[in-house]
Structure 1
């Protein structure tokens, strides 16, 4: 099924993990895919498997980078139908541990960069009655130990999703988000390499495994498709059942 044939899909943070899997999924469904990241070599490797792709190297945490990305993405195929805001970073530590530079890095990448690119491409999305899909997190719905900067940023994305859906009233533009739990990617190598910590994550995951990037990319493609044409302003947990729990430990 080619749900995105003749449509242009922009995926940020497309060089690895969820972004790469999402870009490939849209490519399989016939989309023209614009892949954005800071890593040209990794982007090119992902793009090789997509029939119609454009690589844009840009740092979305800067104003110039976001504007460059918007301009090149717009010019690549002439229209913009879907924007997947997936780029993100994290800094671990309590408020006593994280300095202002670390906090600002997370906010500039995970929040301000998302806002800048979405704002720049909003007229294009209105013209096509397109849609935006954010990669938020279960960390944008509830808190994590020792991750206050990331939690703050993803909490902002969770509510930005709702607010933009309201702002888009009568324009035809939809805005939704996925909220993944622990997903295997470069961002979570610290968990993957700590088997004791990973086991604690798995104790609370009813499906008993972490998500693969494709698990999230497939849901992003659904939200961006006409199959979800009446889904708007939603933060969708893609978490293996994690949010079904009230937090008590599993019983034998």
Structure 2
């Protein structure tokens, strides 16, 4: 162990868990945070060296608990990875205010709350924050009025924090994943959508959880010591190739 400590939210599975594992491989102590107690308990049993906290990052009191328990355990916070998020998709007219608030509460409010709560500890270590946005925060697509807006706001929040915390040596960056081969994505993407993504992505494939973790950990680490306020699209070139997918537009039209 090198003494450094990272908090990773949304760490029970997928990109968050892959990121936590890579931190551990590099000698960091890792705090796994997720509100899904069953999945988190399963991940934690295989990672006894980590601190697992079943908490909801959209709740200010639970976020404060996350910070206090981390400091009790590790004595410091060197990196915060704001990965927790929810995805609810649908046409604009079916996005009621309850859905809007569910998405914003985790995807935007949660990042604000966690970043604010960790700021004092990060100033002490001159640490870093990495926020996870999405390619949907960089460009519009169908069925994503709440999700895409929340992820675009994460990008602006990243820049606000970077501008203010740079005076204290704290770096704040953002990763915007493109299509990633997670269990959740593979469960909800039809073969038509998978084929369309392959056609639209210059590298002709989905990314892997490990590839996202490599970018996240790099930005969080001292290796990125002069990088702040940046948005890195880890998307196989998807952002460079146009707007939307025909398969998604067709799905939208069929539902109308």
TM-score by structure 2 length?
A: 0.90
Which of the residues 7, 22, 25 maps onto 2:22? 25
CA contact (8 A) 1:31 1:52 kept: no
Q: Is 2:197 the counterpart of 1:168? A: no
Q: Is 2:91 the counterpart of 1:99? A: no
Aligned residues: 245
**Greater CA deviation, 110-119 or 37-46?**
37-46
Alignment correspondent of 2:147: 150
Alignment correspondent of 1:64: 61
Q: Structure 1: which 5+ runs fail to align?
A: none
Alignment correspondent of 1:234: 230
CA contact (8 A) 1:10 1:35 kept: yes
Q: Structure 2: which 5+ runs fail to align?
A: 246-256
Displacement of 1:69 after TM fit?
1.8
Q: Which secondary structure state, in structure 1, belongs to the residue aligned with residue 207 of structure 2?
A: coil
CA contact (8 A) 2:5 2:29 kept: yes
CA contact (8 A) 1:206 1:241 kept: yes
Cα distance in structure 1, aligned partners of 2:111 and 2:86: 12
CA RMSD between the two structures: 1.7
Which of the residues 191, 198, 215 maps onto 2:194? 198
Cα distance in structure 1, aligned partners of 2:84 and 2:182: 13
CA contact (8 A) 1:9 1:26 kept: yes
Higher fraction of helix = 2
Q: Is 2:93 the counterpart of 1:132? A: no
Which of the residues 74, 79, 99 maps onto 2:76? 79
Alignment correspondent of 2:251: none
CA contact (8 A) 2:141 2:244 kept: no
